[in-house]
Amino acid sequence: MKRLLVTAATAATVAACASNTGYAPKAPVAKAPTSTMPSGIALENFDRSVQPQDDFYRWVNGTWLETKEIPADKSNYGSFTKLHDEAQVQLRTIIEESAATKAAKGTDEQKVGDFYASFMNVEVVNKLGAKPLAADLARIDAMQSPADIAALHGYLARINVDSIFGSFVYQDAKNPDQYTIYFSQAGLGLPDRDYYLDADNEKFASIRKAYVAHIEKMLNMAGVADAKAGAKQIMALETKMAEAHWTKVDSRNISKTYNKYAVADLAELTPNFSWLAMFEAAGIDTSKFDSVIVSQPSTFTAMSDLIGSTPLSTWKTYYKWHAISDAAPFLSQDFVDENFAFYGSTLRGTPENQPRWKRGVQAVEGSLGEVLGRIYVKRHFPPAAKARMEELVNNLTLAYEQSIKELDWMTPATKEKALEKLSKFTTKIGYPDEWKDYSALTVEADDLFGNMKRSAMVETQRQIDKLGGPIDKGEWFMTPQTVNAYYNPVANEIVFPAAILQPPFFDFEADPAVNYGGIGAVIGHEIGHGFDDQGSKFDGDGVLSNWWTDEDREAFDKLGKDLVNQYNAYEPLPGYTVNGELTLGENIGDLGGITIAAEAYKLSLDGQPAPVIDGFTGPQRVMIGWAQVWRRLYREEALIERVKTDPHSPSEFRANGALVNLPAFHEAFNTQPGDKMWKAPEDRVQIW
């Protein structure tokens, strides 16, 4: 482990911070060295009327929460959003410079510049109206019988139009040395089955009514006959589909969703849907694989039954609707406005659509992401940041290793396997070693819809070409300019794009403590996904297998159940509680992340006392660093959608929910019985 250096200066007591923060410790704290390095803490965001032992999230972020307004073009706003907005401005500069080069046809610069130009050329887009959709709508109309749905599905999958099944190419979870195709339930226009089926929820009833009106209006705008009746038929069909859909909780359970079917046996699963016709229309060579994974088999059988029992005319209207809806952001302004009116305003409460330039940047990024990423990294990601990240990862990994060795609920046999998995983690930081090739994509400056369609087909073909080939271990599933991170279980890898490596997550100029609470906890979180309720089902080689003793798995599941119960009690809005089962994996990641980050910070001190900065001890700054990355505001509609569909808990509960279980938090802030964040030691959930 490399030691992180700090600068010591004159001594001061923690009590000196009281006038700065509004927090007076409940007991004397030993003197410690101070530092001349900045803390990285946004002191102006604190709410000095709140005590950290009562609501740590609001103590750290309360003034920001009270004074910050959500921008009119957003459904929520926080640290992630701010960095995303800044990245969009940087990408706009890259795109406009590419456009100004007047590069030769076929070059990356030409593709970037002309793609953006096609989006920004409102006059051409408005003149075309719904005409770009004509060929696809005609193709849907040409179906002669329900048997033709499978071939239509294959075509729509190539151009990324929503259908009754979703699919993607990924490593086989039980044989990660091979690629396979995963199929999952899809095809709903509303975010989740509850939006269709919860009869007692007035909010959802209002949304259902607005959804039918929206469908009717869009069908009319596209020239589809008898739009009023068609909208009602679509709603009735999607409601039946929703009844057959698995819940979000069941759908994230890898043990339930890993269902391998030989290609030859798929017909038994869906008698009314020809998989071979679908594969042929999608351009998929079935000689390159002999089986696929079906995530929700009962849903697929139910969809087959619906194909057999629903009139073909209804299916035609359904597929026209989804083709129109998916294309709407790239059609004329009337389609853009109506699409946003429902999905932006009605569904998520957002008052205004994003400026066209932002949507244009996102369109280019979605189609040519690594072209932009290559330039973004050169301009905005210093090599020293990558080196510092590697140091943090090493410290976090060492802390995890020590934590696993000290677990009192796990037997030596399972500890050995856990340590073996930890030793096999791969880390990717900043950007890929090899960049994607976009030579197959043709871009025209006056053909926005065509550019989007061709881009979808190129990316689909890129995925199809993986089948039967070697595993691309260098592939990234996020671009460098993405403000996020992820764990990939079949590769047992953690990945940190360049854009997240900046304040408040990672402050290159600040004292290490805040970075341990920020990006350090993010690193710990992603490592933790390898040991959460689902990631723990994969071994160190990325194979879905049981490496646990029955005794240890039972103990782990009990701890997970305790965490489920804790989060089930959180109510972000009256009548809407956090789903502890849906969010369990992320909550385990959060708990492990900040737990291990706090330990890694201690290790980084190498036995030396932590400095006091801005009146805070080192451990206190770690916790503050953790809380300040989660500051976020939500519009009510967006928060409801998050509670219903997102495996991440709302930010307030991510911040406080992990800390109440953390002994280091209670020690750093001297919590006592009666404090709102007090949790008796025997009740604290401690997993990793």
Model confidence pLDDT, tens digit, residues 322-335: 999 999 999 999 99
Give residue 150's pLDDT.
Answer: 98
Q: CA–CA separation, 236 vs 242, rounded Å?
A: 10
Q: Return the axis-axis angle of helices 651-659 and 550-568, rounded to nearest 10°.
A: 130
170 and 278 in a single domain? The answer is yes
What are the tens digits of pLDDT across the range 105-153?
A: 999 999 999 999 999 999 999 999 999 999 999 999 999 999 999 999 9
Give residue 33's pLDDT.
Answer: 61
Q: Percentage of the chain surpassing pLDDT 70?
A: 95
* Average confidence (pLDDT) over 69-87: 97
Confidence check: pLDDT of 1 > 50? no
Residue 224 vs residues 137, 215, 317, 341: alpha-carbon distances, Å: 9, 11, 8, 20
264 and 400 in a single domain? The answer is no
What are the tens digits of pLDDT across the range 420-471?
A: 999 999 999 999 999 999 999 999 999 999 999 999 999 999 999 999 999 9
> What does the block give as tokens for 237?
């069909």
From 312, 343, 363, the end of a domain falls on 312
Is residue 463 in a domain?
Answer: no
424 and 282 in a single domain? The answer is no
What are the tens digits of pLDDT across the range 141-173?
A: 999 999 999 999 999 999 999 999 999 999 999
Amino acid identity at 134? A
263 and 401 in a single domain? The answer is no
Residue 370 vs residues 56, 110, 218, 237: alpha-carbon distances, Å: 39, 15, 34, 39
- Lowest mean pLDDT, pick from 35-49, 235-249, 577-591, 630-644: 35-49
291 and 166 in a single domain? The answer is yes
**Residue 221 banded pLDDT, cuts 50, 70, 90:** very high
64 and 155 in a single domain? The answer is no
What are the tens digits of pLDDT across the range 660-681?
A: 999 999 999 999 999 999 999 9
Contact 403, 410 (CB under 8 A): no
What are the tens digits of pLDDT across the range 468-482?
A: 999 999 999 999 999
Is residue 270 in a domain?
Answer: yes
> Residue 375 belongs to what H/E stretch?
helix 356-380
What are the tens digits of pLDDT across the range 414-424?
A: 999 999 999 99
Confidence check: pLDDT of 222 > 80? yes
> What does the block give as tokens for 556?
């782990």
**Residue 301 banded pLDDT, cuts 50, 70, 90:** very high
Confidence check: pLDDT of 64 > 50? yes
Print the domain residue range for 570.
11-69+383-434+484-683
Mean of all residue pLDDT scores within the chain: 94
* Average confidence (pLDDT) over 350-368: 98
675 and 547 in a single domain? The answer is yes
Terminal-to-terminal C-alpha distance of the chain:
20
Is residue 376 in a domain?
Answer: no
**Residue 292 banded pLDDT, cuts 50, 70, 90:** very high
Residues in the chain: 688
From 255, 281, 312, the end of a domain falls on 312
What would the 3-class secondary structure string for 436-492 be? CCCCCCCCCCCCHHHHHHHHHHHHHHHHHCCCCCCCCCCCCCCCCCCCCCEEECCCC
**Residue 40 banded pLDDT, cuts 50, 70, 90:** very high
Q: CA–CA separation, 549 vs 2, rounded Å?
A: 35
Confidence check: pLDDT of 36 > 80? no
From 254, 288, 312, the end of a domain falls on 312
Is residue 131 in a domain?
Answer: no
Tally the domains of the chain. Answer: 2
534 and 679 in a single domain? The answer is yes
> What does the block give as tokens for 598?
């706090």
Confidence check: pLDDT of 10 > 50? no
Is residue 555 in a domain?
Answer: yes
Give residue 24's pLDDT.
Answer: 42
Q: Return the axis-axis angle of helices 149-158 and 448-464, rounded to nearest 10°.
A: 100
Chain CA centroid to CA 488, Å: 13
CATH of the domain at 40: 3.40.390.10
Taking alpha carbons only, the member of 123, 321, 352 closest to residue 236 is 321
Confidence check: pLDDT of 12 > 80? no
Contacts with 408 (C-beta within 8 Å, 6 or more apart), sequence order: none
What are the tens digits of pLDDT across the range 488-524?
A: 999 999 999 999 999 999 998 999 999 999 999 999 9
303 and 394 in a single domain? The answer is no
398 and 304 in a single domain? The answer is no
Give residue 35's pLDDT.
Answer: 66
Given the structure tokens 């940047």, which residue do they identify? 361
* Average confidence (pLDDT) over 287-313: 97
DSSP 508-563: TTS-HHHHIIIIIHHHHHHHHHTTSTTGGGB-TTS-B---S-HHHHHHHHHHHHHH
DSSP for residue 342 = I
Give residue 37's pLDDT.
Answer: 86
Give residue 34's pLDDT.
Answer: 59
Is residue 652 in a domain?
Answer: yes
**Residue 18 banded pLDDT, cuts 50, 70, 90:** very low
More confident of the two residues 508 and 234? 234
Confidence check: pLDDT of 52 > 70? yes
Is residue 262 in a domain?
Answer: yes
283 and 413 in a single domain? The answer is no
Instruction: Give backbone dihedrals phi and psi of 633, rounded to 5 degrees, phi first.
Output: -110, 145
CATH of the domain at 210: 1.10.1380.10
424 and 556 in a single domain? The answer is yes
Is residue 476 in a domain?
Answer: no
* Average confidence (pLDDT) over 589-608: 96
